[in-house]
Structures are given as structure tokens and as C-alpha cells.
Chains A and B, each alone.
Chain A
């Protein structure tokens, strides 16, 4: 009789669905591996690339912890943004590199999700220039945000803060996770080859340092074109 057909074999196959085994995995197995093989936090946002289509329609998932996550605190965040609609459009129309942007309140976080063209620092900096007051209003509602107000006079620090709170974008090709984790530890592409079977564990452990992540860099219907190129093509000016 083969292994999987034995009573014990069938029992082992069902282990992952058993409550006590899940408990064991969560409270013993995972902590053990976190101790043994800790993963540094992976940086957020799209990765730097030399190639044109990697540099347009880039995704930002800025996740900001609310200073006051109560109902009242959330309402204050809503007000801060609602009062700045003119400012936001002013920025959108004059920075020219943003495809879409939206705000979402999710649990105790305020999220700003956008699709932009070009360099991340330029994008944030150009927005500080045009709508610095909006960022100030938002940061006033965010945990640790006060130190960055006024953003116009903390340009570099604010850009770094945003970068830190932009979600890590898991690679579109799963095995690239090895490369990124190596990179975070200062190991180059010529480093040792990982055991492929450890890929699931490496993902599990990464969640400890990056509890929220973006699944890949997103899917695009018309990749490769900037907002201005699309506007030009549609005949709506840029």
C-alpha cells in the first residue's frame, strides 16, 4: 500500500485543516522560523527601472495610520480631504503625471492609492509644491505626521516618509522574491541559489516585516503610455 493510501497518510494530508495544527503553526512554527530566518522590511513602491513602460502608470499604495481611528477621527480625516477638492484638482491639472488617485479609509488607516508616471520623488515633490497645504491637513490626522508639517519645509523627510508607507509590491514573478529578499540583506544576484521549496516559507516570513503588501505591480489595460500621451491621443489637451 502506498504512503498516501495508508490511514496515517490520509490523516497527515488533513493536518493543515485541523484547528490545533493551525494553532501550532501560528504560535510555534512561524515564530520559530521568524527567529531563525528574519526578513528585513522590503521597500515600498514600484522598483527603479530603466525601461520606459516600467516608468509610466506606476502604482502608489500609501497606507497611513490614523492618529485617532475612532469614528470621530475618521470623520475628521474625511473633512480634511473634502475641504481640499479644489486644491487636489489644481495639483492634478498642473503636475500632469497622475492617471488616477483616490482616498480610502480602511480599518484604522487612511489610504491614498494612485497611478502616476515617472519618478516617485518627483511626483511627491511636485505635489508638495502645488498642494502642500493638503498634505499638511492630511498629516495632521496621521500618526507621526506632525513632525513633517509643514511639508514644504520638510520635503526630503516627507518624501522618505511616504516611501516608507508605500506598500511593498510583491514581484509579479514569484521566484523573484528570493532576489528581493537577498537584496535587502545586501546579497547580489550572484549569491547562492535558494532551495525552491522554501519559497512559501519566505513569503510567510516576509509578512512579519511587511504585514500589508500589494500583490504585484498591478494589471493594466493599455500599459506603456503616460497620462499626457493618453490625453493627447484623446484630443483633450495636456
Chain B
């Protein structure tokens, strides 16, 4: 079952990121099956100058001007004519689609699919999601025009990397990603985490779960080397988050155990020129995520965001005495080798994240409520075993540790002010519970997609019915 990995056999941006800073997603409907198939043929052989070429996972010396890739939803596979028998071999999560799995992944209330922005409010019409990566607006427009010749474009979404690799909430992101055995990823050179087996991200290879292979949809031309993606448009309430940090800092200032969080005169140690309130805000922000906003891991540097000497950004693990709260966002999503209830699941639910921000910049000094957020891709070989498993049991519910069970992720969780809570750690090994966290991240739309291999795109383009 296992095979040699050939970078020319799969699409780019799956096992490694592109390092390009602008993206446009096209939500596509197949209205003319023949035109769609011809487009796919041309996107592989490059013989038609008016059809963009699918970018393969091949190492390049210089960044190409544009990288074009496609992914398909379950209705998309149907629309392209995959047989019923073969369709049934895809995993249930993907067959159901993201909107049907909403409750499982926390998409209720304001995140419910009935409230999603167009075109995601009509999930059955979204057949493909194509991505165009390019740092030139002109190229984005050009490729979009080309795609429009073969597909009905239901909607587009533009994303970009914010300055200094930050995300809307002001944290430095993209510090570490799973890296895979046998794949050289320059961007992850400084990442000291354990290597992940290729089966974490591609179908047909061993996984981190000993002896377990995820099922390859039939025929193997279609399924082998494929991957799955949870594409999500996540609006992020930056000003709500800043407000919460202020509230929490004010709460802590009055707390009898304040000195266990911030000893008298300790503010400057936290960050240069910090007042007590600023220091507390940043401590809360750091504990909520598990990293200071400059990227320094809280676990390695719980007292200051500017450790001297510097600490590794990636080489750490959690233990029973960790200063990084068990409920911190990063620790919930990736508990690493730390203590968890489902010991067997340590390191098995890894997700590759490829995301860019959307919407206007946020200036915490002049906060506004315009919509902004993340266009996120959460990739893995099995949506149920990775994305959904993390969302359902760990990010929400908090089943991995008895001290957080019944609470949701402080940053991403489906929280409501009345019931939410988050336990901060103190310097003396105690806890201080924060209440009243609102839902900072709301899903505005999304889809489960299949990322076909090159052979699979060829297979789809050759279907005859």
C-alpha cells in the first residue's frame, strides 16, 4: 500500500506552503460538464494559453508569478460525473459536507450555516474551490477571467498576509507546521517538532497511528495521493478581543492573588515599557493562545515576552506542571506529547494550516468593527480523524484534560458570555478563572474539499458520462 513519494504527482501547497502573500479563492459551480473537463485537461497539459496550469509540488528556485490549484466538494465530484459506486467510497464527513457537520465543529448560533455569507449559504452549488496565489493583482484577475470561461464563479474571496506575519488578533503566526518525513521544507528549517509521517496529509501512506491506513477512495487513480481540506471563512472580532483583554486585566488588578500573576514591579519584566495593565493584558493574551503575541512560546518563557537568552519557538513540550494553561488555544489544538486523556491520540490529530487574513488592517489604538478574519485551510488525510476530532473533542468540550472538560477554546471556541470560562495559571502553581469570554471567531462559510492528485485531475477530466 505504501509508495514512494513523487512531488510531481501532487498539487502544490499541500505538504509545503507557497510563501506567496496574496491569494484569491474562487467558489465555482460546474454548469457545463464538458467545458469543465476540457478545462481540467488543459490545466494539466498546459497546451492552452488561456487556461492556467495546475501548480505541482515541485521545488522551485524562484517563486512562480502565479500558482493555481483546485479542490472539489462532494457535489463537485458528482457534477463532474464520478460514479455513484466510487462516490460511496469517500469518507462520510466529506460526503455529508461541512454544512451538514455544523454542530460537530461548533458552527451553531451566529456560525450556523443558515447564517453563512453567500455563496456558502447554498453549499450544494459549490463544486470546486480554486485558489490563485500571486503577489500581482493583475495575475489574480487574469486567471479569474480564464476560469470564468469554463465555470460559473459563485463568489470570490481575497486574502493576504498581514505585515510581520501577524494575524488579525495581533499574534505572529505561521511559526510551525507539521513537517513530513521525506519532504524538504525550507520554511520549516527552524522547526524542531517531530516529523510527521506522510499519511498525515496524503492518502496511501503510513499514518502516525501504528498500522492504520486511511481508506483510499476508488478508483485508486482518483483517491491515491489525495488529501482533504476544511476551507473556512472565519471572521475574527479583533476589537472584542482587545476589549476582553482590558476587562480581564481590570479583573486581575482587583484579584486577591494578583501578585501570583504579576508581582509588584514585575510589569517591565513582561515587556519593555509596560504598565501593570498592559502587562496583564499581554499575559492574558499569551495564556489564551499559548504564545506571546510576538510568537515566543509561553511554556518556555512564562514571565516575559522578551526572554534573554532567546528561546526556541518550537522546541518544547507540555507536562503536568506546565505554565502554559491546558486550555490555551495552541495546547488544545496540538497537545504535543503532553498529558492527555486519550494517550493513544498524542500526536495523531495533526492538522496542516494554510491561512491568510482578509478584511482591513486592525489598529488596536483606533478599533473598529468592520469584518476581518482568516481564510483558513485545515488540511489532512482524514477530516474525521484530524479536523473534526480536534474541533469536537478538544477545541470545544475539552475532553483531553479533566481540568478543562466542559469548556471551549478561549480564542476559537463556540463560547457564550454566560457560560464560558478559562483557567489562567499563576506563578505559584494556582489557577485564576476568567469568565465571560464571548465568541471571538464566527464562521462565515466554508466547505469540505478533496484535493485531487495530478492523476486524479486527469481521471476526472477523462470521465465520459
A contacts B: CB pair < 8 Å:
yes
Q: A50-B103, A50-B396, A152-B212 are in contact. Are A238 and B402 (CB under 8 A)?
A: yes
- Pick from B103, B211, B341, B392: contact of A97, CB under 8 Å: B341
Let me know if A128 and B384 touch, CB within 8 A: no
Flag whether B58 is at the interface (Cβ < 8 A).
no
Q: List the A side residues contacting B92 at CB < 8 Å.
A: 156, 159-160
Q: A55-B397, A96-B342, A126-B342 are in contact. Are A119 and B382 (CB under 8 A)?
A: no
Q: List the A side residues contacting B345 at CB < 8 Å.
A: 122, 126, 129
Flag whether A165 is at the interface (Cβ < 8 A).
no
Q: How far is the CB of A96 from chain B (nearest CB, A)?
A: 4
Of residues 101 through 142 on chain A, the ones whose CB sits less than 8 Å from some CB of chain B are: 117-119, 121-122, 125-126, 128-130, 132
Let me know if B402 and A228 touch, CB within 8 A: yes
- Pick from B104, B211, B385: contact of A132, CB under 8 Å: B211
Encoded as 1 (CB less than 8 Å from any B CB) or 0, chain A from 46 to 59 comes to 00111011011000
Flag whether B214 is at the interface (Cβ < 8 A).
yes
Which of B103, B214, B342, B382 gathers most chain A CB within 10 Å? B342
Let me know if B104 and A48 touch, CB within 8 A: yes
- List A residues at the B interface (Cβ < 8 Å): 48-50, 52-53, 55-56, 91, 94-97, 117-119, 121-122, 125-126, 128-130, 132, 150, 152-157, 159-160, 224-229, 231-232, 238
CA distance A48 to B399 in the complex (A): 15
Count A/B pairs, Cβ under 8 Å: 113
Q: A52-B405, A118-B397, A232-B402 are in contact. Are A95 and B344 (CB under 8 A)?
A: yes
B90's closest neighbor in chain A, by CB?
A: A156
Q: How far is the CB of A129 from chain B (nearest CB, A)?
A: 5
Let me know if B389 and A121 touch, CB within 8 A: yes
- List B residues at the A interface (Cβ < 8 Å): 1, 91-92, 103-104, 106, 108, 209-215, 340-345, 348, 382, 384-385, 388-389, 392-393, 396-397, 399, 401-403, 405-406, 414
B114's closest neighbor in chain A, by CB?
A: A188
CA distance A119 to B349 in the complex (A): 14
Let me know if A50 and B106 touch, CB within 8 A: yes
CA distance A97 to B405 in the complex (A): 12
Let me know if A119 and B91 touch, CB within 8 A: no
Let me know if B397 and A154 touch, CB within 8 A: no
- Given pairs A97-B341, A126-B344, 4 additional interface contacts (CB within 8 A): A97-B342, A122-B342, A156-B215, A225-B405
Q: A96-B341, A126-B344, A226-B405 are in contact. Are A156 and B414 (CB under 8 A)?
A: no
A-B pairs with the 9 shortest C-beta distances? A96-B341, A229-B402, A52-B406, A228-B402, A232-B402, A118-B393, A228-B341, A129-B209, A152-B211
Q: List the A side residues contacting B348 at CB < 8 Å.
A: 129
11 contacts between A and B (CB under 8 A): A55-B399, A56-B399, A96-B340, A97-B341, A129-B211, A129-B345, A156-B92, A156-B215, A226-B341, A229-B405, A232-B402
Q: How far is the CB of A121 from chain B (nearest CB, A)?
A: 5
Q: A50-B108, A156-B92, A228-B405 are in contact. Are A119 and B215 (CB under 8 A)?
A: no
- Pick from A52, A150, A157, A232: contact of B397, CB under 8 Å: A52
CA distance A55 to B210 in the complex (A): 27
CA distance A16 to B180 in the complex (A): 69
CA distance A160 to B209 in the complex (A): 19
Let me know if B341 and A238 touch, CB within 8 A: yes
- Pick from A119, A129, A157, A160: contact of B104, CB under 8 Å: A119
B396's closest neighbor in chain A, by CB?
A: A50
Q: How far is the CB of A117 from chain B (nearest CB, A)?
A: 6
Q: How far is the CB of A94 from chain B (nearest CB, A)?
A: 5
CA distance A113 to B447 in the complex (A): 35
Let me know if A119 and B108 touch, CB within 8 A: no
Q: List the A side residues contacting B401 at CB < 8 Å.
A: 228
CA distance A132 to B210 in the complex (A): 10
B348's closest neighbor in chain A, by CB?
A: A129
Q: How far is the CB of A77 from chain B (nearest CB, A)?
A: 24
A131's closest neighbor in chain B, by CB?
A: B344
CA distance A49 to B396 in the complex (A): 11
CA distance A194 to B384 in the complex (A): 36
Q: How far is the CB of B208 from chain A (nearest CB, A)?
A: 9
Q: How far is the CB of B91 from chain A (nearest CB, A)?
A: 5
CA distance A126 to B342 in the complex (A): 8
CA distance A132 to B344 in the complex (A): 13
CA distance A117 to B210 in the complex (A): 23
Let me know if B384 and A156 touch, CB within 8 A: yes
Q: A156-B91, A157-B215 are in contact. Are A49 and B103 (CB under 8 A)?
A: yes
Let me know if A122 and B389 touch, CB within 8 A: yes
Q: List the A side residues contacting B403 at CB < 8 Å.
A: 232
Q: A94-B344, A229-B405 are in contact. Are A155 and B215 (CB under 8 A)?
A: yes
Q: List the A side residues contacting B397 at CB < 8 Å.
A: 52, 55, 118
CA distance A155 to B397 in the complex (A): 24
Q: List the A side residues contacting B103 at CB < 8 Å.
A: 48-50
Q: List the B side residues contacting A152 at CB < 8 Å.
A: 211-213
Q: List the B side residues contacting A157 at CB < 8 Å.
A: 215
Q: How far is the CB of B327 from chain A (nearest CB, A)?
A: 14
Q: How far is the CB of A172 from chain B (nearest CB, A)?
A: 18
CA distance A229 to B238 in the complex (A): 34
Q: List the B side residues contacting A119 at CB < 8 Å.
A: 104, 388-389, 392-393
Let me know if A155 and B212 touch, CB within 8 A: yes
Let me know if B399 and A117 touch, CB within 8 A: yes
Which of A49, A157, A226 gathers most chain B CB within 10 Å? A226
Q: List the B side residues contacting A155 at CB < 8 Å.
A: 212-215, 382, 385
Q: List the A side residues contacting B399 at CB < 8 Å.
A: 55-56, 97, 117-118, 226, 228
CA distance A196 to B303 in the complex (A): 63
Q: How far is the CB of B349 from chain A (nearest CB, A)?
A: 9
Q: List the B side residues contacting A129 at CB < 8 Å.
A: 209-212, 344-345, 348
Q: List the A side residues contacting B396 at CB < 8 Å.
A: 50
Q: How far is the CB of B347 from chain A (nearest CB, A)?
A: 12
Let me know if A224 and B406 touch, CB within 8 A: yes
Q: List the B side residues contacting A232 at CB < 8 Å.
A: 402-403
A52's closest neighbor in chain B, by CB?
A: B406
Q: List the A side residues contacting B212 at CB < 8 Å.
A: 128-129, 132, 152-153, 155
Let me know if A118 and B343 touch, CB within 8 A: no
Q: List the A side residues contacting B209 at CB < 8 Å.
A: 125, 129
A119's closest neighbor in chain B, by CB?
A: B392
- Pick from A154, A225, A228: contact of B215, CB under 8 Å: A154
